[in-house]
């Protein structure tokens, strides 16, 4: 009997729509049948040629490719655990992750061999290994208790592996077999999704008389080594959709928009303003060059979209019926979510609709009162991770029990508005203490970035002898724009309390962010401090 296990569920879908395209990357394409057979061969080869056993960890230091998807599925088929490894790591970083994970094997790109060799021994070539495996699906029974592990980006220290049960990640993140309605109750019911409504993941956003596209075709600008890319990819495959992978190492907006046109993308996932703004600049610069008429849904994860950016996205991609945003982390994938539609309220940033599983808790682990203005930490209950791999102390701090209910206690600070919506303030570790008042960078950044002359911005605290810290805005100006502190103050003052206003302005050529859009606050603090000394 199949279980709520990623491999079991994928095999059910592959048997239902074997000839449908499943994954595309550059010139490489795989149908569901082809993807399933190659993953099966590779899974057997992992067992027979490399001695991989159930529960073993296998590193994947791979670019986005069909082989990356095959290797990930092969691990699940063999009941091994794929470990995402950033291909940007140098040898010491690679060794740290592989040692922490206890990895038994590593898939890597040929051009990364020089980085890989100081850390691990060389093994067989990918296609040779795959050819050695049987195409017969004769695996022992799998379980929903099999592990899914995702290594974090290490924004507050070395990367840590977040450990989930596969059944929990399926229902918490991957759609539960029915993204537009109640989750399925039996694994076999997942076959209804690709057959009864090929674009089921769009159903919740479409008018009743709109049948939607023939197939849900997903392009995510988050790579498979990160949560957003993995989750959107797996959710699409488990719904019978097509995953289109971006094949370049660096994002070129012209290539992205050409890919949208060529593959008929129906859902485009971005990384907040860091990827949305360049896309809009390309559309503005070349009106009519790109056909985006197949796009029905826009999404964003990792960081939030500014209100004016959302408004322009809906204007320039008129076939998009909604923009879906989710705020979360590897530990709590969807803490809060919001949907912006053409007929709804004006686009806004920082405020999200609370989910039933989400709460903002005070220091006593009690829910904050809506409309009170009290600041608390976001927390999520229900299907949450088992813990961190090899870190029981951090697990105990993050995954807590409240009256017999298990919660993920995040580091995201927030308040609850009178209408029940959640206003995000940012990570508690980045909080600025100025004159005894707390300032959360993301709240100020959202206002600063709304200035028409600002392309991007970060806000940090700088030591101040009188106030403890002073608020500093690091601003990347839009092309041809100028901005001084008095102009920024005039823009921000109507929207922020006086103690939250930037007291200094530092212009930079480019705001530094990770490839997934996460702000580099350490860099920002160094720049802000150096500017004060200079």
The CATH number covering residue 404 comes to: 2.30.38.10
Query: For residue range 325-356, what is the model confidence (pLDDT) as tens digits?
Result: 887 788 887 656 777 877 765 666 667 877 88
Query: For residue range 408-450, what is the model confidence (pLDDT) as tens digits?
Result: 998 888 899 999 988 888 777 788 988 777 888 888 999 999 9
Query: What does pLDDT average to over the chain?
Result: 90
Q: Which residues on adjacent β-strands are paired with residue 389? A: none
Last residue of a domain, one of 425, 459, 484: 425
CA angle, corner 487, sides to 486 and 491, nearest 5? 115
Query: For residue range 73-83, what is the model confidence (pLDDT) as tens digits?
Result: 999 999 999 99
Place of tokens 């991007």: 456
Q: Which residues on adjacent β-strands are paired with residue 28? A: 25
Is residue 421 located within the same domain as residue 439? no
Q: Is residue 497 part of a domain?
A: yes
Residue 66 has pLDDT above 90, yes or no: yes
Is residue 471 located within the same domain as residue 449? yes
Give the integer Cα–Cα distance in Å for 36 and 13.
10
Residue 532's pLDDT is: 66
Q: Is residue 512 part of a domain?
A: yes
Is residue 444 located within the same domain as residue 528? yes
Give the integer Cα–Cα distance in Å for 363 and 378.
11
The residue with greater pLDDT, 197 or 10, is 10
DSSP 441-492: HHHHHHHHHTSTTEEEEEEEEEEETTTEEEEEEEEEEPTT----HHHHHHHH
Range 476-486 average pLDDT: 95
Last residue of a domain, one of 425, 441, 471: 425
Is residue 420 located within the same domain as residue 460? no
Is residue 468 located within the same domain as residue 529? yes
Report for 107-121, 147-161, 211-225, 480-494: range of highest mean pLDDT = 480-494
Last residue of a domain, one of 425, 441, 476: 425
pTM value?
0.85
Residue 213's pLDDT is: 84
Tell me how many domains the chain contains. Answer: 2
The residue segments making up the domain with residue 520 are 431-533
Here the CATH number for the domain that contains residue 461 is 3.30.300.30
Q: Is residue 398 part of a domain?
A: yes
Q: Is residue 244 part of a domain?
A: no
Q: Is residue 411 part of a domain?
A: yes
């Amino acid at each position: 009997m199949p279980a709520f296990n990623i491999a079991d569920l994928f095999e059910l879908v592959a048997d239902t729509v074997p000839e449908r395209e499943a994954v595309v990357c550059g010139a490489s394409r795989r149908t569901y049948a082809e993807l399933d057979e190659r993953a099966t061969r590779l899974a057997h080869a992992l067992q027979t040629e490399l001695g991989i056993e159930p529960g073993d960890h296998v590193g994947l230091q791979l670019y986005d490719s069909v082989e990356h998807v095959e290797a990930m599925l092969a691990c699940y088929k063999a009941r091994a655990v794929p470990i995402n490894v950033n291909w940007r790591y140098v040898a010491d970083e690679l060794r740290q992750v592989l040692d922490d994970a206890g990895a038994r094997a590593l898939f890597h790109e040929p051009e990364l061999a020089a980085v890989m060799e100081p850390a691990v021994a060389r093994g067989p070539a990918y296609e040779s290994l795959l050819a050695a495996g049987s195409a017969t699906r004769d695996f022992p029974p799998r379980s929903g208790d099999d592990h899914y592990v995702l290594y974090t980006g290490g924004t507050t220290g070395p990367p840590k592996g977040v450990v989930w049960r596969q059944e929990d990640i399926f229902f918490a993140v991957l759609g539960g077999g029915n993204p537009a309605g109640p989750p399925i109750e039996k694994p076999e019911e997942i076959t209804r999704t690709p057959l009864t409504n090929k674009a089921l993941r769009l159903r919740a956003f479409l008018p009743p008389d709109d049948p939607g596209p023939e197939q849900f075709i997903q392009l995510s600008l988050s790579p498979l080594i990160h949560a957003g890319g993995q989750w959107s990819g797996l959710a699409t495959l488990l719904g019978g959709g097509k995953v289109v992978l971006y094949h370049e190492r660096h994002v070129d907006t012209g290539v992205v928009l050409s890919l949208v046109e060529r593959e008929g993308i129906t859902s485009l996932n971005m990384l907040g303003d860091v990827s949305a703004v360049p896309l809009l600049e390309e559309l503005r610069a070349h009106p009519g060059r790109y056909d985006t008429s197949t796009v029905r849904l826009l999404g964003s994860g990792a960081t939030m979209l500014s209100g004016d950016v959302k408004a322009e996205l809906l204007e320039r991609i008129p076939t998009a019926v909604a923009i879906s945003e989710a705020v979360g982390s590897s530990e709590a994938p969807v803490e809060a979510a919001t949907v912006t539609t053409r007929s709804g309220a004006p686009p806004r940033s920082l405020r999200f609709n609370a989910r039933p599983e989400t709460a903002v808790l005070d220091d006593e682990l009690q829910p904050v009162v809506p409309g009170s203005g009290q600041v608390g930490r976001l927390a999520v209950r229900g299907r949450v991770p088992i813990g961190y791999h090899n870190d029981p102390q951090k697990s105990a701090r993050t995954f807590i029990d409240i009256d017999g209910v298990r919660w993920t206690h995040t580091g995201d600070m927030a308040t609850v508005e009178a209408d029940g919506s959640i206003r995000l303030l940012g990570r508690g570790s980045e909080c600025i203490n100025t004159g005894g008042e707390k300032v959360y960078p993301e709240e100020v950044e959202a206002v600063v970035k709304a200035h028409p002359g600002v392309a991007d911005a970060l806000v940090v605290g700088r030591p101040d002898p009188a106030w403890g810290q002073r608020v500093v805005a690091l601003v990347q100006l839009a092309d041809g724009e100028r901005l001084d502190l008095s102009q920024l103050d005039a823009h921000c003052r109507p929207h922020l309390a006086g103690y939250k206003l930037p007291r200094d302005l530092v212009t930079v050529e480019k705001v530094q962010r990770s490839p997934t859009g996460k702000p580099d606050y350490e860099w920002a603090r160094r720049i802000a401090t150096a500017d004060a000394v200079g």
